[in-house]
Structure 1
Amino acid sequence: MNILKLLDKLSDDKFFTTETSRLETLTNISSFGKKAVIAAVPFGLGALMTTPAKAETTDTTKNATFFKSALTDALQLALVLEYLENEYYALGLAASSLIPSADRVVFMQIAKHESAHVTFLKNTLTSLGVTPGAKPTFDFTANGSFSPFTDYNQFLVLAQAFEDTGVRAYKGQAGNVMSNKTVLQAALQIHSVEARHASQVRRMRANKGWIELADGGNMPSATNPVYAGEGNTNQAGFNTATAFGAAAGSAAYDEILIGSDAQAIASLFIV
């Protein structure tokens, strides 16, 4: 199976695939932005943005502010994670003789996705009347703990950690973007792309394409926070380990990563 076709063909995320031209992408983002402005307002208030102004109650205004704040905070967190991945792959591809030629085409494709995600999130925040956060200054050595741009094995280790973090973080923020169905759909599409990235990188490290228990698969202890909680086998009051075994039961579900935990992981690589 061609991994490049897998990354692009098995989803409807036209915003983020290479088959969409630059003009089509900009048109999609522009259309999305117009919808997002209205969709960001809680149900029942969207009409107020296309009709003459009406009086709003104090409670309604507070609700609108709360939902928009939760939404934009989630998008800002996602943007930080996408900034991190985007710069990481750019530096990796720029590092001489780091990535073997057989793997290089895969990371070029992943890098294109991450760049598109950054652009998309920035345009979305702007369309919501919020200034996108500036790109942080990253230290991918984590203060000397890693050498990802001189050691390909370490490059793959951090690539896996970043992708697995992104998958769990996007899932963890789903509740915060549900007030905007357009953003929710796009976020879930990005989530699916990140999941395929994660699966491919894991396989490139000779791991399974999924996580079992809280084992990242030959990962250093510094990455333990990425996998903390993944051993959970209780879903909706049912212990999946009873029917399928602990490994299979835990592998059937990705656990969420709350915003503060995702921020803590990212902060390890921010100066």
Structure 2
Amino acid sequence: MNILKILDSLTDDALYTKPLSRNENLSQLSSFGKRTAAAAIPLGLGAFLSGNAKAETKKVETEESLAFKKDALSDALQLALTLEYLEDEYYAKGLAASTLTIPAADKIVFQQIAKHEKAHVAFLKAALTSLGVTPGAKPTFDFTVNGAFNPFGDYQQFLILAQAFEDTGVRAYKGQAGNVMGNKAILQAALQIHSVEARHASQVRRMRMNKGWIELNNGGSMPAATDAVYAGEQNTTQAGFNTATAFGAEAGSASFDEILTGAQATAIATLFID
């Protein structure tokens, strides 16, 4: 099964834009989750990458006009893998925690999101392997940040960190797009994953009774410890045009997600690495 087709189906706008009832929405998420589970099979991913990704990498290494070399590509994938490791383990621990009470309807949503994250980890590991690069080992995570958070005992804190992780992922993937442009196969897949992460973020934000998008640098009732996730989102100038002039600062800033650099994304992830 082609990973691009699977991820493309996961980014169907109908999932979050059609006027569905909550039960219908959850039913669609469940259907997508079944397809994503198949995407997590390394052999399937390896088959996809053995042709397209390797061929594109060879092209990158032989065309001097391309700005980004293999090391930039592999660094971008390693960063993405670290973030996906973090999300994958976070949802797995949350769903398994006997000390955390997740409402039944919300639990179904997180079960599907967890399947997506597992598929993303499998894809990124296979992508790195196809490039001849050893995927980084999964770090040891401390989701309490030395006791500052209690995400597996307090559902509201679980939601807060879920939103922070998803919003970080969206900005980080966008920030690394330039570093994977030399490999069209991986670029296409990475952009698909970015779109999936954006839908995760929108869904989790709405579960916290926030808007599905970020306005200014306000995460929406988020603790100060998450400020780095939203720093820079207040920007309203795009391609030299100040969108606030025409639409107001909130709408202007919400129109575009700002990037996180590799260093910024790493700094955020490092807070949760033991």
TM-score (norm 1): 0.86
CA distance in 2, matches of 1:20, 1:258: 28
Which of 55, 67, 75 is equivalent to 2:69?
A: 67
- 3-state DSSP class of the match of 1:41? helix
Which of 93, 96, 101 is equivalent to 1:94?
A: 96
Q: Is the 8 A contact 1:164 1:195 kept in 2?
A: yes
1:12 corresponds in structure 2 to none
Q: Read off the aligned partner of 1:245 and give its amino acid letter.
A: G
Which of 80, 88, 109 is equivalent to 1:78?
A: 80
1:141 corresponds in structure 2 to 144
Shift of 1:118: 0.4
1:22 corresponds in structure 2 to 38
1:56 corresponds in structure 2 to none
Deviates more, 1:65-74 or 1:163-172: 65-74
Unaligned runs of 5+ in 2: 1-19
Q: Is the 8 A contact 2:173 2:194 kept in 1?
A: yes
TM-score (norm 2): 0.85
Q: Read off the aligned partner of 2:47 and give its amino acid letter.
A: S
Shift of 1:6: 6.0
Deviates more, 1:187-196 or 1:32-41: 32-41
Percent of pairs identical after alignment? 68
2:6 corresponds in structure 1 to none
CA distance in 2, matches of 1:176, 1:210: 25
2:10 corresponds in structure 1 to none
Q: Read off the aligned partner of 2:122 and give its amino acid letter.
A: T
Unaligned runs of 5+ in 1: 10-15, 47-59
Shift of 1:28: 4.8
1:151 corresponds in structure 2 to 154
CA distance in 2, matches of 1:242, 1:133: 45
CA distance in 2, matches of 1:122, 1:34: 16
Q: For the pair shown, which has the larger CA radius of gyration, 1 or 2?
A: 1
CA distance in 2, matches of 1:262, 1:77: 8
- C-alpha change, 1:130 and 1:107, in structure 2 (3 Å) is same
Which of 49, 55, 59 is equivalent to 1:38?
A: 55
Aligned residues: 250
1:197 corresponds in structure 2 to 200
Encode CA deviations 1:33-91: one digit per residue, 9 max, x unaligned.
32111201345838xxxxxxxxxxxxx5xx88961000000000000000000000000
- C-alpha change, 1:34 and 1:246, in structure 2 (3 Å) is same
Show structure 1 runs of 4+ deviating over 6 A. none
* Structure number having the greater helix percentage: 2
- C-alpha change, 1:192 and 1:7, in structure 2 (3 Å) is farther
CA distance in 2, matches of 1:100, 1:65: 48
- 3-state DSSP class of the match of 1:173? helix
Q: Is the 8 A contact 1:99 1:152 kept in 2?
A: yes
**Equivalence map 1:145-224=2 (5 Å):** 145-224=148-227
Mapped pair 1:3 → 2:30? no
CA distance in 2, matches of 1:66, 1:243: 36
Encode CA deviations 1:168-226: one digit per residue, 9 max, x unaligned.
00000000000000000000000000000000000000000000000000000000000
Shift of 1:24: 9.7
CA distance in 2, matches of 1:262, 1:196: 19
What is the RMSD computed on CA atoms of the aligned residues? 2.3
- C-alpha change, 1:245 and 1:155, in structure 2 (3 Å) is same
Shift of 1:19: 2.5
CA distance in 2, matches of 1:6, 1:242: 39
Encode CA deviations 1:3-42: one digit per residue, 9 max, x unaligned.
3466588xxxxxx853267389643541223211120134
- C-alpha change, 1:235 and 1:155, in structure 2 (3 Å) is same
Which of 257, 269, 272 is equivalent to 1:269?
A: 272
